[in-house]
Structure 1
Amino acid sequence: MSHGKQFTLQTHGTGANGWKIDFVLAELGLEYESKLLDFNQQDHKAPEYTNYNPNGRIPALIDHSNNDFVVWESNAIMLYLVEKYDTEHKISVSDSNDSNEKFEQLQWLFFQASGQGPYFGQAVWFMGSHSEKLLSAIERYQKETIRVLSVLDGVLSKREWLVGGKCTIADLSFIPWSHWALRSILKDYPGLDVAKDYPAFYRWHFAMLARESVAGIVAAREAALITSGIWR
């Protein structure tokens, strides 16, 4: 089968984890087509999709130039893309044997996947999608969101970027859920001023949003969230 683009990204119009892959593909100038799944129609649970991703979550990436190789799990996709296509290490660190930076990059990707995404995602769920208002759950996940911001702020108060002295996939991986934190999770949190309380995090996040490859994608996703009524 012939494909017009090198990649097909199976994703969702507002699903946070899919944004990450858009960022990397844009940063590397790689051509791709997005196939948006309809969660209301359970597209992500249908065999047409679970044949690609047995976990039934977005995103999944198909690399047509590599025998239609499929990668799922957003941070695994990010690693795949930079290891195969970022030969100049534009948004990744060197993988030389004498460098520890590869493992620093990896640890931040693990922290994002285990420490940021699940907590922020649960905050969003209990604040807007759960069948009943559980204030104790909302409070727990809002506090975990603040804790993660404090971890990032503490590190970024001593350096501009997480690893390698430049913006890498380690940094980019945090954008979507951080954006949710500022626009939704912590928007009305009593007594919290993120710009004042966590200035290093705030500076870093908005430095990434100012990147040409990021700005347009975030604007489009934000518009979709507003149109859908999720954000107001």
Structure 2
Amino acid sequence: MIDLYYWTTPNGHKIPLFLEETGLPYRIFPVDIGRGDQFEPEFLRISPNNRIPAIVDQAPADGGEPLAVFESGAILSYLADKTGQLLPREPRGRAEVLAWVFWQVGGLGPMAGQNGHFSHSAPEKIPYAIERYRKETARLYGVLDRRLASREFIAGDAYSIADIACYPWIVPHRMHEQDLADFPNVKRWFEAIRARPATARAYARADEVRRSAAQRPG
């Protein structure tokens, strides 16, 4: 059983996407970042950087005590190794998948996140910042579009944790002022992943978490 400490953000969505795809049993412990749950001592013992997602594997492969893992890229890699799914075992394929996971973690996610922050959340509208991050997001979409021009999925013909890492950051493309019509290969890939039953189940769980949070007192 995997205990998933989760909120309904792009980084958070990655882990239910993996778990639903592989069928690994899990239970969700919501961490409402709008209420400051990420600063609770119990959560900080699992995720010392006070960020979601984080997991606790109640049955690690070594048979030892429950194992906590934080940071979405590390969690995806850990779970892929645990299940033997969505990450090749042979060195070349593994390196290719992990390179694109790190590309998302170090590039697409932070740049799109800053795009959304300065465009929609910042208390002061700073035109330079808005334009900088909008253009950088577009550049990264272009990188992904070129990558997908000759392959079905990011790392080749097989769906992998590279696709899982990137997909949730493309979902809010309108908020990030990106038109998928400008990136036809990304659009084709995006629609294919959106149609996967596991994707629908993962986002349905997100809806459940939001509804439960809305009913939480205070």
Question: What is the TM-score normalised by the length of structure 2?
Answer: 0.89
- Residue 98 of structure 2, aligned match among 94, 106, 125: 106
Alpha-carbon distance in structure 2 between the residues aligned to 1:79 and 1:130: 33
Assess if the C-alpha contact under 8 Å between 1:122 and 1:141 holds in 2.
Answer: yes
Match of 2:51 in 1: 57
The residue aligned with 1:190 is none
Give the C-alpha shift of residue 43 in structure 1: 1.1
1:152 to 140, 144, 153: 144
What is the correspondence of 1:165-184 to structure 2 with a 5 Å cutoff?
165-181=157-173, 183-184=174-175
Find the counterpart in structure 1 of residue 2 from structure 2. Answer: 7
Distance in 1 (CA, whole Å) between partners of 2:33 and 2:154 is 34
Report the 3-state secondary structure (helix = DSSP H, G, I; strand = E; otherwise coil) of the residue aligned with 1:33.
strand
Match of residue 215, structure 1, among 196, 200, 215 = 200
Kept in 2, the 8 Å contact 1:11–1:60? The answer is: yes
Match of 1:82 in 2: 80
- C-alpha separation between the residues in 2 aligned to 1:139 and 1:40? 27
* 1:183-194 mapped onto 2 (5 Å cutoff): 183-186=174-177, 193-194=179-180
From 123, 135, 142, the counterpart of 1:131: 123
Q: Does the Cα contact within 8 Å between 1:209 and 1:218 map onto a contact in 2?
A: no
Is the 1:7–1:33 Cα contact (8 Å) retained in structure 2? yes
Aligned partners of 2:20 and 2:201 also within 8 Å = no
Counterpart position of 1:143: 135
Could you tell me how far apart the structure 1 residues matched to 2:83 and 2:72 are? 16
Deviation at 1:162, TM superposition (A): 1.6
Residue 24, structure 1, aligned to residue 18, structure 2: yes
Q: Supply the distance in 2 between the matched residues of 1:167 and 1:36 (Cα, whole angstroms).
A: 27
Shift of 1:160: 1.2
Matched, 1:201 2:186: yes
Q: Distance in 2 between matches of 1:84 and 1:180?
A: 30
Aligned-partner SS, 1:180: coil
Distance in 2 of aligned mates of 1:206 and 1:40: 30
Q: Sequence identity, in percent? A: 37
Distance 2:107 2:34 in 1: 28
Gaps of 5+ in 1: 1-5, 188-192
Going from structure 1 to structure 2, the CA distance change for 1:186 and 1:221 (only over 3 Å counts) comes to farther
Answering whether residue 31 of structure 2 is matched by residue 44 of structure 1, we say no
Between stretches 34-43 and 106-115, larger displacement belongs to: 34-43
Q: Distance in 1 between matches of 2:10 and 2:151?
A: 26
Give the alignment's Cα RMSD to 1 decimal.
2.0
Given that residues 2 and 58 in structure 2 are in contact (C-alpha distance below 8 angstroms), is that contact kept between their aligned partners in structure 1?
Answer: yes
Separation in structure 2 between the aligned mates of residue 175 and residue 123 of structure 1, nearest angstrom: 17
2:119–2:125 contact (8 Å) kept in structure 1: yes
Flag structure 2 segments of 5+ consecutive residues without an equivalent: none
Residue 219 of structure 1 deviates from its aligned partner by 5.0
Looking at structure 1, the residues matched to 172 and 128 of structure 2 have their Cα atoms a distance apart, in angstroms, of 20
- Output the CA distance in 1 between the equivalents of 2:29 and 2:207: 18
Question: Is the Cα–Cα contact under 8 Å of residues 12 and 53 in structure 2 kept in the other structure?
Answer: yes
AA in 2 matched with 1:194: L
